[in-house]
Amino acid sequence: MKIPLSAPDITDAEIEAVTAVLRTPSLSRGRHLVEFEAALAARVGAPHAVGVSSGTAALHLAIRACGIAAGDEVITTPFSFIATANALLYERAVPVFVDIDPITLNIDPDRIEAAITPRTRAILVVHVFGRPAPMEPILDIARRHHLLVIEDACEALGAEIAGRAAGTLGVCGIFSFYPNKQMTTGEGGMIVTADPAIAALCRSLRNHGRDDEADGMTYHRLGYNYRLGELAAAIGVVQLARLSTMLPRRQAVAEAYGARLAGHADLVCPPPDTPGSRTSWFAYVVRLSDAFGRSDRDAVAAGLVEAGIGCGRYFPPLHLQPHVAVATGKKKGDFPQTEAAADRTLALPFSDRLSEHDMAGVCGALLRLTAERRAYSSPR
């Protein structure tokens, strides 16, 4: 790709941090992980942070630590990355999907209450593409029905809701540091919580079920090898220190895209932030207008790839993924807003290092391809 879909912002500082770790005998369970956890907790304003090997691992441990078990129902969105559903299925819990708001693409809180049953244990909120979900009504519903709220903030590090960091409003929140995220450790994730018992249980579960690091041969529960290594943690410390400069650059790229693409009838750009919230830009995702369908979007995507421009068709509906459909019994047509959005969304190349020249090339190609597709699709 001449212009890749995403690119991590790695500097000499991260390289030097990794080199320094390699000169020590400690490549796992060392001081860099402790430092990274403390820095992330301070950044988001959470009392506890637990580093793990991926955002998926973090979500799995959060669900397990919250006591969600076989047969429990968890309300969530069908418009998300597959890990949102998989982490529930790992514990044989039942994802109960609720359709999305067609503007924000986040879960529609007005539909949640109708999905609650006596088996409902939690609401798993996803801040899709870094845009904060409407937490106030969701938290109100959870309080009235005695439900837990878990925040999948894997795409939303740096997002804010009423002055609080996304990921800190529920019982626990999840972050991911995959290379396409706002910051990266290569692979990695973090659980944040105000509950010391949840934090302690997650620390045990990530390390094979040990309670006491000093007694390495006693395993108190079934656990996992979900540890975050020292190399990744060292990168995380540097990346987190640079986050305050990387986030504004991502914001500037999103604004530049918006300025170039606004007003074109074939495209729907991301909406502005709602009052009191702030998006942290994970991706810049446009939608083709309702005049287009999935085949049109796929043709535009193929044209971008042919031109050397990376793009992503985010997200295929979770309820239509084969194994999720089997587990939930859902089918095409059950969540029309999700399906309509998924047929038309297109993630454009996005990183804090994307140049004006590259953006001009992306936008020019996108507008040319959508115009060609409109002409192709028009009645003759």
User: Does residue 5 belong to any structural domain of this protein?
Assistant: no
Whether 171 and 224 share a structural domain: yes
Whether 233 and 282 share a structural domain: no
Whether 22 and 147 share a structural domain: yes
Strands 94-97 and 172-176, how do they pair? unpaired
User: Does residue 58 belong to any structural domain of this protein?
Assistant: yes
Task: Identify whether 2 is a catalytic site residue.
Answer: no
Whether 222 and 277 share a structural domain: no
| Other CB atoms within 10 Å distance of the CB of residue 82 | 15
Given 181, 330, 331, 332, the catalytic residue: 181
Domain boundary among 215, 239, 263: 239
Whether 293 and 367 share a structural domain: yes
Joined together, the tokens standing for residue 364 give 């020019």
Q: How far is residue 124's CA from residue 143's CA, in Å, rounded to a whole number? A: 14
The model's pTM is: 0.96
- Does the N-terminal peptide bond of residue 315 adopt cis geometry, omega within 30 degrees of 0? yes
For residue 323, the enclosing domain spans: 244-377
> For the domain that residue 269 is a member of, what is the CATH number?
3.90.1150.10
* Residue pair 63/150 in contact by the 8 Å Cβ criterion: yes
Q: How far is residue 113's CA from residue 109's CA, in Å, rounded to a whole number? A: 8
Among 226, 208, 181, 197, residue whose Cα is nearest residue 33: 226
Packing angle, helices 230-261 and 12-22, rounded to 10: 170
Q: 214: pLDDT confidence band, cut at 50, 70 and 90?
A: low
User: Does residue 7 belong to any structural domain of this protein?
Assistant: no
User: Does residue 339 belong to any structural domain of this protein?
Assistant: yes
Whether 215 and 296 share a structural domain: no
Whether 19 and 58 share a structural domain: yes
Read off the pLDDT of residues 143-200 as tens digits, 9 standing for 90 and up: 999 999 999 999 999 999 999 999 999 999 999 999 999 999 999 999 999 999 999 9
User: Does residue 3 belong to any structural domain of this protein?
Assistant: no
> Which pLDDT does position 217 carry in this prediction?
84
Read off the pLDDT of residues 104-136 as tens digits, 9 standing for 90 and up: 999 999 999 999 999 999 999 999 999 999 999
Domain tally, the chain: 2
> For the domain that residue 32 is a member of, what is the CATH number?
3.40.640.10
Domain boundary among 178, 209, 239: 239
Whether 303 and 233 share a structural domain: no
User: Does residue 37 belong to any structural domain of this protein?
Assistant: yes
